[in-house]
Amino acid sequence: MLKGGGLMNTIAIVTEIDAEIARLQQVRELLAAVKVTGGKRKPGRPAAAASLPANGKAVRVLSAASRESIAAAQKKRWAKVRREKKAALKAAATEPAAKKSSKSAPKKRVAGKKTAATKKVAAKKTAQPAVEAAAE
């Protein structure tokens, strides 16, 4: 810094100090702004203070027609969900009945076989007295 034991260029030193002070003040302002917003800003988003109105609440203005169309679309979506749920419950309720009928089908066949067998036995019994009567 001292060259040849001579005098220092005080004007250059003062200019560098002023530039450094300006940079430090800018950094301080940025840090103070981050502290105020909470440091939760995301890249590309405007500052929180700039996006909110004076009362602090965000307001989205929609026309009455827009609100009605949004409400109608939401009701349509919920109706579809309810229809699908109802159909699923109905399908679930009919499945056990189908299983019962498949289980009861063999019982019916067995019962049918029993009645056919009893009919044959009954026919033989009624046929035997007629044959015996003819033989006498």
pLDDT tens, position by position, 6-53: 566 888 899 999 999 999 999 999 888 876 665 566 677 666 555 566
How far, in Å, CA of 77 to CA of 71, rounded?
Answer: 10
Per-domain boundaries in the chain: 1-43
Note every long-range contact of 48-55, with CB atoms under 8 Å and residues 24 or more positions apart, other chains counting: none
Contact (CB, 8 A) for 36 and 47: no
pLDDT tens, position by position, 80-127: 999 999 999 988 888 765 555 555 556 656 666 667 777 777 777 776
pTM over 0.75: no
Residue type, 117: A
How far, in Å, CA of 9 to CA of 75, rounded?
Answer: 79
